[in-house]
Amino acid sequence: MNRISPACRVEEPLGDRGCLQHTYVLFPHGLDEQIAVPSGARCAGRALVAAGCSGADTGTASDDEEAGAAQAREVDELPAGYTDYQSEVYADDAHWLCKLGIADDVCGRDLDATVVLADGTTEVERHQVADDPPVDCFYVYPTTSFDQGLNSDFTPGEAEEISTVYNQVARLTSSCRVFAPIYRQATVAAIGGGSDRQDGPDPRTVAHGDVLDAFRYYIANESEGRGFVRSRSQTRRERPRSPRRGSAIPTWSRPSA
């Protein structure tokens, strides 16, 4: 493969276990890879599925292979717990910082930049939002809340959650639709040991429950079967996995083509 277009899916046959899907998305900052769990559908018959990819050295897929890829996409089904999923919290646009069509979309703020050239002159570079990007970006912001207690509330701070999302992910609207939920994260005090412990659920469990609730709602009601990329920042004190084994957000995706 000479190059990869904005969305490219590579399939790896796993025999009777189905097909492992690798989705590559080219963003301005580099190449992101998302590895999906076996879909249960058979591969299209070759390692590289041409739909959604460009510059492949292997040539053009045959009609049978393209038909196989289309069939694989058609039989792709949502995992248990996702089909027709609803959320009282995330059905409310007030609980999203970035989401297509909401009134105060943080990712819809001014993103024009001033470029300083080598000779000292400047020019304005206008941010271009993609009209119909091939994938979505589901973003979970890192620990940023200075709220009192172990978990933040659902009211984002301008210098905390809002500023973080604006600076870290808003520019990806040039390549994907961005979905960034507000969630009750473990606060800076909670992970730093500066808050008194209290009876109640683990603050990480509360945060994880919100994110999973938002993700399931997005998949069932907003994704429309589109491919997606999950993006998350992590502080040193945060654990790299879910606090509850077996309940992590899955790494499967629908094909982006």
Give the pLDDT confidence score for residue 225 in this predicted structure: 84
**CA torsion angle for 89, 234, 39, 32 (degrees, to 10)?**
120
243 burial (CB, 10 Å; 0-12 / 13-18 / 19+) is middle
- Residue 79 pLDDT > 90, yes or no? no
Which of the given ranges, 21-30, 40-49, 79-88, has the highest pLDDT on average?
A: 79-88
The length of the chain, given as a count of residues? 257
| Mean pLDDT value of segment 159-169 | 96
Low-confidence winner among 64-73, 178-187, 248-257 (lowest mean pLDDT): 248-257
- Residue 247 pLDDT > 50, yes or no? no
Tens of pLDDT, residue by residue over 118-148, are 999 999 999 999 999 989 999 999 999 999 9
- Residue 7 pLDDT > 50, yes or no? no
- Tell which wins on pLDDT, 256 or 223: 223
**8 Å CB contact between 230 and 249:** yes
Neighbours of 59 (CB within 10 A): 9
Hey, what amino acid is at 134? P
DSSP state letters, 59-117: -PPPHHHHHHHHHHHHH--PPTTTTT---TTTTSGGGEEE-TT-TT-GGGS---EEEE-
Tens of pLDDT, residue by residue over 32-54, are 444 444 444 444 433 332 233 33
Q: What is the reported pTM?
A: 0.64
3-state secondary structure of 231: strand
Give the pLDDT confidence score for residue 26 in this predicted structure: 43
Give the pLDDT confidence score for residue 226 in this predicted structure: 84
Q: And the tokens for 47? A: 């390692």
- Tell which wins on pLDDT, 255 or 113: 113
Element (H, E) at 232: strand 227-232
Torsion over CA: 38, 44, 47, 48 (sign):
negative
- Tell which wins on pLDDT, 47 or 238: 238
Give the pLDDT confidence score for residue 151 in this predicted structure: 95
CA distances from 59 to 10, 68, 139 (A): 14, 17, 35
Give the pLDDT confidence score for residue 141 in this predicted structure: 95
DSSP state letters, 104-170: T-GGGS---EEEE-TTS-EEEE-----SS-SEEEEEE--S----SSSB--SS--IIIIIHHHHHHTG
Give the pLDDT confidence score for residue 147 in this predicted structure: 95
Please state the domain extents for the chain.
7-75, 93-232
Distance, in Å, from the CA atom of 9 to the CA atom of 21, rounded to the nearest integer, reads 7
3-state secondary structure of 190: helix
